[in-house]
Structure 1
Amino acid sequence: MVVVAFWAHGAYGNPSAYYNGFFRFLHVLFGIMWIGLLYYFNFVQIPTMPKVPAELKPGVSKFIAPEALFWFRYAALFTVITGLIVAWLSGYAHDALVLGEGFRLIGLGMWLALIMAFNVWFLIWPNQKRALGIVPAEDAVKAKSASTAMIFSRLNTLLSIPMLYCMVTQGALGGL
């Protein structure tokens, strides 16, 4: 990949356009990871856990979930960072973030993504740490934390639909 990056940078003679395309690629890659894990949690893991025999649940809660949550958090972070870089390189970051004329769809998508990333880092992850026993908590606190994490994860799943719509539709309308 590094060889391709350096070759393409020199071959096309427009470093700005190349970097924009490279960060768009990274933005899509991290976005797929983030939303894919979000959908995994909400459509696979959460509905399946009640069916998992008690002796097998620690395999999920001690090994799979913490690892998946690591990739989930950092995919969210890098999706936001690379998305902001793309918006900056393309010259529409300010217009989109203030929901300016012609950039309202992408701006709304960006704000939804920022809200979702906030939820990941400051609501879902702290509650999951307690629910999974990564940090000590009483059983009642663990249960409440699991419920809170699930509610915000479901909220993010719902927000992901208009977020994706806004971003894809703005791109289809042109100007980005």
Structure 2
Amino acid sequence: MNRASPDPDAESSLMEHLLELRSRLMRALAGLVLALLALLPFANRLYAWLAAPLLDKLPAGGQLIAVEVASPFFTPIKLAFFAALLLSAPWLLYQAWAFVAPGLYRREKRLAVPLLVSAVALFYTGCAFAFFVVLPSVFAFLAAIKPDGVAIMTDINAYLDFVLVIFLAFGASFELPVALVILVLLGWVTPQQLQAGRGYAIVGIFVLAAVITPPDVISQLLLAIPMCLLYEAGILAAKLIDRRGR
């Protein structure tokens, strides 16, 4: 029984794809490293800026503390890495897009570009909303309800982890319109179904906000209300795309 010989063209195509993938990964990594190197000299300033929402709400003399010996060194570097990741996100996404774009149809390319741009913009908007609106409100609430005689002295690493989780939660939650549009494009739901299920969606949004935010009403409302508005924006965008697709 003769075995079919390997197709040289298929092997060549696979090798080209692997080389292209390697090239894109190296470029993405280089961009991330350059952003990190640019931010490292300002790591302490970045942390001071990030800590401002908490420090502004503490009583006179309040400050952050370092529980672990190496925290003053490693925590700002950790922040610089995540800041570099956030800063280089458009470059990283571009490298991913440049790799997959040749295999897409023209209509898919036409839809994917605005979706990617919208996703990045919405994630940045969610992080900015969390920093400038949510964190000051949460810390003001927590400082106001603390028992008498209790001093708020938060570890710098614990504070950074808390803020990063908040950023991720709000950044990801603000992607709701993009997620709805993708569901409509995949044919899993229709804009009319999204509109009809608005009541269930609002309940789900408030439940989700209660789960992923700190245990205070303010942060839950500050997440749930924008998500409800974004749900409506997602319905409008889905209707617009659905009409153009017909």
More helix by share: 1
TM range (shorter): 0.3 to 0.5
Q: Which has the larger radius of gyration?
A: 2
Q: TM-score, normalised by structure 2?
A: 0.27
